[in-house]
Amino acid sequence: MSSNRSAPSPKVYGWCPGALRPMMSGDGLVVRIRAPLGRLSQEQATAIADLSRQYGNGLIDLSARANLQLRGVSPETHGSVIAGLQELGLLDQDVWRESRRNILLTPFWQEGDVSQRIARHLEKALLATEDLQLPGKFGFVVDTGAKPLLQNSAADIRFERSGTDILLVADGAQVGCPVTVETAAEAALDLARWFLDQGGAPTGRGRMQALTARCAPPAGHRAPRSVTAPQPDPGPTVCGQLVALEFGQISATAFAGLARIAPLRLTPWRMILIEGARDLASLPGVILDAADPRLRVRACTGAPGCLQALSATRDLARDLAPHVPEGQILHVSGCAKGCAHPGPTPLTLTATSSGTFDLIHHGRASDQPVKETQSANALRAAPQILTKGR
């Protein structure tokens, strides 16, 4: 499909924020916290909530890479946030190490299992290797449970289970190379070097999926991948209870409430796993019901919180959620970047100016619309516009 004709092109930064290298947004600095193994102790989670309230605007995001983001931090208070994170053991030594530690681990890992061991070995290997000049968004997924759960999460190099094998997979390929726990980390570094040698990032930017679309995977990558398992719903799991966050955001007060229950694991599904919890009562700021219509919508921060956004997004998404057909997804994007859901969805609204959106069917936020310049008020008054003609 061609690019969306109505919306101006947004700025693409080519890197993700961190704690040491935050990104300025419309509501202040976005400070991203990469929790080791995606897990926070109760003490760490409680202290993060305190940092958000004291030095930010009291809002915390959960990213699609299972990282936390403190919002509304000012340049003047950033140093205090950094000091707090350092005391909690959540700060890297420098920006280089922070950006290298871009590993997404399945939230259902168990102490000492294959996934946890590979993730630890990989992190250590990445930090010890200085010859890899990888793009800022280049990332890894460790997903070696009984069935892959994270194939829809963005990454460049993946570890998955296929039958009894652990496969190393170049993103976009349908085959992988068997590895062991002991050889996995070095094999991943070799695959990263192959990516660079094949011209995957000629200007310092690039993703593995684009390379595998035009280039066969390396020799030895012949074992077929397993089919991904469905994304889990909010509710009980073997490791505890999953709770969802509306649009992936939670107040610091509600986050502190979760921390009082048990340690927390962060997921790429805008959900938090509360370790060992069962049958939670209603909690402020979280979604417990898998049938809640808000789970059918994706929406970015929108204006004014994001400098790229052309319109507010979340109020409209919340109002339209009950009208999204069951089993479908509506993506409301403040610009053509589509940060809240980079892939295609059955229904997408892309802002073209304040309060106006293009409607796209079965596409991304940057794709050609089937209806241009729909006002937010018109969509609220006649939500059937979303599905008309499909």
CATH code at position 36: 3.90.480.10
pLDDT at 390: 67
Range of the domain at 360: 293-386
234-282 pLDDT, tens per residue?
999 999 999 999 999 999 999 999 999 999 999 999 999 999 998 888 8
How far, in Å, CA of 50 to CA of 54, rounded? Answer: 6
Same domain? 84 vs 188: no
Burial class from Cβ neighbours inside 10 Å (0-12, 13-18, 19+) for residue 256 reads buried
Distance linking the first and last C-alpha atoms of the chain:
17
- pTM higher than 0.85: yes
Distance of CA 94 to the CA centre of its chain: 22
Same domain? 124 vs 170: yes
Same domain? 219 vs 249: no
Same domain? 253 vs 324: no
Q: Say which residues have a Cβ less than 8 Å from residue 128's Cβ, sequence separation at least 6.
A: none
365 three-state secondary structure = coil
AA letter at 226: S
pLDDT > 90? residue 315 = yes
Could you give the percent of the chain with pLDDT greater than 70?
96
* DSSP for residue 7: S
181-217 pLDDT, tens per residue?
999 999 999 999 999 999 999 998 999 999 999 999 9
pLDDT at 342: 85
pLDDT > 50? residue 3 = no
Q: Say which residues have a Cβ less than 8 Å from residue 11's Cβ, sequence separation at least 6.
A: 308
Q: Which residues pair with 121 in a beta bridge?
A: none
Same domain? 243 vs 313: no
pLDDT at 388: 86
Q: Are 266 and 68 in contact (CB under 8 A)?
A: yes
Whether residue 67 lies inside any domain: the answer is yes
Same domain? 164 vs 214: yes
Same domain? 31 vs 121: no
339 three-state secondary structure = coil
Whether residue 204 lies inside any domain: the answer is yes
Radius of gyration of the chain (CA): 21
Same domain? 126 vs 210: yes
Residue with tokens 């760490």: 44
323-375 pLDDT, tens per residue?
999 999 999 999 999 989 988 999 999 999 999 999 999 999 999 999 999 99
pLDDT band with cut points at 50, 70 and 90 for residue 321: very high
Q: Are 360 and 369 in contact (CB under 8 A)?
A: yes
Same domain? 117 vs 215: yes
pLDDT at 283: 82
Per the structure, how many domains does the chain have?
3
pLDDT at 8: 56
66-116 pLDDT, tens per residue?
999 999 999 999 999 999 999 999 999 888 888 888 999 999 999 999 999
pLDDT > 60? residue 13 = no
Whether residue 49 lies inside any domain: the answer is yes
Same domain? 43 vs 75: yes
45-69 pLDDT, tens per residue?
999 999 999 999 999 999 999 999 9
Same domain? 122 vs 63: no
Q: Which residues pair with 70 in a beta bridge?
A: 31, 60
pLDDT at 281: 84
* DSSP for residue 291: T
pLDDT > 80? residue 6 = no
178 CB neighbour count, 10 Å cutoff: 17
Same domain? 59 vs 133: no
